[in-house]
């Protein structure tokens, strides 16, 4: 029960984190896994790739295929909807942060 909640919330944080970076530059799976690891999130490709794909299906990210060293790499950037969603979420996060940490 407890672990399910933590996992759900973590995955939501991960989505916000992806949106944040994809709104600034094109991101790809492996680099995003490394970036998230830097922040203390240990995600497998089996979790991250479906997350990126789901966000694309929801219209938050758009995907561009590029060939890098003979391999197809999928680069994701935030769509207009993704940017609007990020702005809205940032407002909510800021409000919650203030409540939690008396900021």
Q: What residues line the site for Zn ion (CB under 5 A)?
A: 35
Integer-rounded Cα radius of gyration of the chain? 15
CB neighbours of residue 4 within 10 Å: 8
Which two structure tokens, joined as six digits, stand for 98?
């203030």
CB closer to Zn ion out of 31 and 63: 31
- Minimum CB separation of residue 63 from Zn ion in Å reads 20
- The residue of the chain with the least Cβ separation from Zn ion equals 35
Collapse the DSSP code of 72 into the 3-class scheme (helix H, G, I; strand E, B; otherwise coil) and give the result. Answer: strand
Query: Distance (Å, rounded) from C-alpha 69 to C-alpha 22?
Result: 22
- Minimum CB separation of residue 56 from Zn ion in Å reads 19
- Minimum CB separation of residue 97 from Zn ion in Å reads 16
CB closer to Zn ion out of 15 and 69: 15
Which two structure tokens, joined as six digits, stand for 84?
């609007």
CB closer to Zn ion out of 3 and 82: 82
């Amino acid at each position: 029960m407890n672990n399910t909640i933590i996992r759900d919330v973590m995955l939501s944080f991960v989505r916000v984190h992806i949106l944040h970076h994809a709104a600034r530059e094109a991101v790809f799976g492996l680099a995003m896994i490394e970036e998230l690891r830097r922040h203390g999130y240990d995600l497998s490709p089996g979790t991250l790739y479906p997350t990126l794909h789901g966000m694309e299906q929801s219209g938050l990210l758009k995907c561009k295929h590029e060939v890098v060293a003979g391999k197809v790499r999928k680069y994701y950037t935030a769509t207009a909807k993704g940017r609007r969603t990020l702005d809205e979420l940032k407002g909510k996060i800021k409000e919650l942060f203030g409540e939690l940490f008396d900021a």
